[in-house]
Amino acid sequence: MKKFLPLIALLVFNNVIAQPNSVSLKNGSGTLLAQYNSIAAAYSAISTPLTDAYFIEMTTSYTAANETFPLVFSVKAGASALQFVQK
């Protein structure tokens, strides 16, 4: 049991600092596609090749508590002047 206490404490602490739905993923016309707990999760949810423009927006409740720094954004196949990701 003592071996599991740090893990349990970590899980409880992580839930306390989580900011659910604090990052919005929208398509090029501004329609909300989904909400995520981090920028990295929203970026990872964008499928490739890109078929539309995408916007990642942070809400007022965003605190970066769920991010792992530095944030790394890989190149998405299909990017063009009309199909892009804006953060």
Question: Which residue type, as a one-letter code, is found at position 57?
Answer: E
Please give the pLDDT value at position 14: 46
Please give the pLDDT value at position 17: 54
Q: Whole-prediction pTM value?
A: 0.73
Confidence of residue 18 (pLDDT cuts 50, 70, 90): low
Residue 16 in this model has a pLDDT that exceeds 90:
no
Please give the pLDDT value at position 23: 95
**Distance from C-alpha of 68 to C-alpha of 78, rounded to nearest angstrom:** 26
**Of residues 18, 45, 23, the one with CA closest to residue 35:** 23
pLDDT over 70, % of the chain:
79
